Amino acid sequence: MIEKERSMTAKYVVGIDLGTTNCVMAYVAIETKSPQVELLEIPQLVAASTIESRPLLPSFLYLAPEHEAASGALGVPWQREMPLAVGEYARRRGAEMPDRTVAAAKSWLCHSGVDRRQPLLPEHAPPEVAKISPVSASRRYLEHLVAAWNAQFPEARLAQQYVVLTVPASFDAAARELTREAAIAAGLPESLVFLEEPQAAVYSWLVARGDEWRRDLSAGDRLLVCDVGGGTTDLTLIDVAEAGGELELRRLAVGDHLLVGGDNMDLTLAHRVAQLFAEQGVKLDAWQSVSLWHSCRDAKEALLAADAPESHRVAVLGRGSKLIGGTVTVDVQRQLAVDLLVGGFFPKCTITDRPQRRRASGFQEIGLPYQADVAITRHLAAFLAAHADGDNRSAAPTHVLFNGGVFKAAAFRALVLDRLGEWSGADKPVRELPGPRDLDFAVARGAAFYGWTKQQGGVRIRSGAARSYYVGIETAGLAIPGAPRPLRALCVVPFGMEEGTAVDVPSNEFGLVLGEPAHFRFFSSAVRQHDRPGALLPTIDEEELAETDSLETMLEAGSDDAETYVPVKFQARITELGVFELWCVSTTSDRRWKLAFSIRDDAQEAAS
């Protein structure tokens, strides 16, 4: 009811892209027939005591020492005294002061090995720095966005608007729940809706194309959304079908969460260029290395452009005010960048190749589970092969939509298209979707447009749950001392389960003890698309099932309970807002208990 009232008072749909490296906010008036999606200019600190409005808010948080914060230099228009900085200044300080700067908080949100409500970041902070949790960091970014919006729209505060927040398609239910927790704490409305980022990119393409898209795609086509951001790679397949004479889009599959992106590429190139400097007898210090990293991003885009020069000069400016005298340069050959980046990240491979599990790469940080194999093409091959139709189509896409800053380099787009063409073996080349690319802003724009179509009608992508979910059930039988009982997996949410639906999971009854916490291990799969609710997998195959945060509930005993033992079955729901819920429902009374993610316990277990 409250949600309904809210959506009636809402004037805007607001799309928020809470990115690993940048946040973007886009909006569109609800009551319009021809949606014009605008980007919000976000005021942020760009230097001490200096505020500038920019469409990108870097997802960085700088925890300033007291003497810096007390000067008021970190103030923002809506708060004079700030103990920390969010945005461009934090990003710049991050380069100089990594121990006091939180980066990539989002990647930590889906890292189920740690308690994401505990103050963990910055990872290597000195003892005097009060660390914050990945959830709190995300909340800080969102609070900044909420304040920026409210400052510009005092008559239409964000809590009263219709807000769509994007999450990676690969985020599991626990990561989504934590994102939601951060969002609500930051002041976003309870009616907040989630949308998967690759789908948002497609919606952005749809709003840009208007009705043209029905000529761009036809029934039977298959679209790959290839989203490679700063730190993550997110893959999604969408089928084009015909229903009742109308074209329909249907999300077929999503990939696993891959921690590899453009930053890895820039660092790889920077590492090699630093060697070139060393060969000249120039040793770069830490400050120069950061500067080199930024120069290498430009070098990457220049050397992998469509008409790239044979070589590109990388300069690292002197730090002191004697700029020219302190500048060192080196010429980087195009071939070197191609060998390094194409060979490393987009190597030639066949559809049967798989990512290597060996941890071999040199740029890992302890903590986050970075991909051992940075070859995006091999991850792509594994993803497409996992979703083969069985009729030898190997999930071959006919079209590709690129998203993420990495694809500003033309060579990478061409490489992905070439590989897909080789794998499909079809006569028709795999093509990029027509229309202008909007690699940095498409997700936020698409989120706003999606919210608008939900209110006003329009083409929608049919999706539902991106993964199937399983509860771990201990097998009955004689206990063997010292050995855990073997675990089976009970499917509770089928792949594709639609929002706003519930399912009673057919199974045997489970006995739960009143007054004690009930604890279940919980698994998800992006590849087992045909398991129905109640299906019992005899073993847990780690290739197919990924364990996520476990679920628990406290079964409080009522005063008139004669029994201490309740037989229950499971009921799974996905709310209209896309929130996953699992309930234990008593088979002998009308009582029920909702299971919650027990993020803390899991982390303690992992630590011990």
Partner 1 sequence: MRVWLAMKCFFNVLLHGEFANRCELLLKDAPLAKNQASAAAPCSPAVVSASRSDAVTLLATLQREARFVDIVNESLDGYSDAQIGAAARDVLRDCGKVLARVFALRPMLEQEEGATVQVPAHYETECYRLTGDLSREPPFAGKLMHAGWQATKCDLPTWTGSGKGALVVAPAEVQLG
Token pair 């461009």 in the structure block, residue: 88
What's the rounded Cα separation, in Å, for the pair 275 and 597? Answer: 47
Angle 432-259-343 (CA atoms, 0-180°, nearest 5)?
60
Q: 551 with 177: CB under 8 angstroms?
A: no
In DSSP notation, 65-90 reads -HHHHTTTTT-BTTBS--SEEESHHH
Site string for partner 1, 325-354 (x = CB under 8 A): x-x-x-------------------------
Q: Among 305, 314, 304, which Cα is nearest to 271's? A: 314
Nearer to partner 1, 80 or 358 (CB): 80
Is residue 608 part of the contact set for partner 1 (CB under 8 A)? no
Candidates 45-53, 430-438, 545-553, 585-593: pick the segment binding partner 1 (CB under 8 A): 45-53
Closest approach of partner 1 to the CB of residue 327, in Å: 4
Is residue 47 part of the contact set for partner 1 (CB under 8 A)? yes
What's the rounded Cα separation, in Å, for the pair 370 and 107? Answer: 10
Candidates 314-322, 394-402, 427-435, 436-444: pick the segment binding partner 1 (CB under 8 A): 314-322
> Token pair for residue 117?
């409500």
Closest approach of partner 1 to the CB of residue 47, in Å: 6
Backbone angles phi, psi at 482, to 5 degrees: 85, -15
Cis peptide bond prior to 122, omega within 30° of 0: yes
Is residue 313 part of the contact set for partner 1 (CB under 8 A)? yes
Nearer to partner 1, 73 or 276 (CB): 73
DSSP assignment letter at 583: E
Site string for partner 1, 68-107 (x = CB under 8 A): ----xx-x-x------------------------------
Q: Among 589, 574, 309, which Cα is nearest to 468's? A: 574
Nearer to partner 1, 199 or 295 (CB): 295
With CB under 8 A as the contact rule, the residue among 241, 243, 278, 315 that binds partner 1 is 315
Closest approach of partner 1 to the CB of residue 356, in Å: 37
Kindly determine how many residues on this chain lie close enough to bind partner 1 according to the rule CB under 8 A. Answer: 27
With CB under 8 A as the contact rule, the residue among 1, 2, 8, 324 that binds partner 1 is 324
With CB under 8 A as the contact rule, the residue among 36, 321, 392, 608 that binds partner 1 is 321
What's the rounded Cα separation, in Å, for the pair 234 and 250? Answer: 17
Site string for partner 1, 278-297 (x = CB under 8 A): -----------------x--
Which helix (H) or strand (E) segment holds residue 400: the answer is: strand 399-403
Nearer to partner 1, 313 or 393 (CB): 313
Is residue 323 part of the contact set for partner 1 (CB under 8 A)? yes
Site for partner 1, residues 575 to 594, rule: CB under 8 A: none
Nearer to partner 1, 51 or 546 (CB): 51
Angle 214-238-222 (CA atoms, 0-180°, nearest 5)?
70
Is residue 317 part of the contact set for partner 1 (CB under 8 A)? yes
In DSSP notation, 251-263 reads EEEE---B---HH
Torsion of the alpha carbons at 368, 372, 374 and 380, rounded to the nearest 10: -100
The amino acid occupying position 211 is: D
> Token pair for residue 374?
């940075």
End-to-end CA distance of the chain: 45
Candidates 316-324, 346-354, 432-440, 553-561: pick the segment binding partner 1 (CB under 8 A): 316-324
Rule CB under 8 A: which residues touch partner 1? 46-54, 72-73, 75, 77, 295, 298, 313, 315, 317-319, 321-325, 327, 329
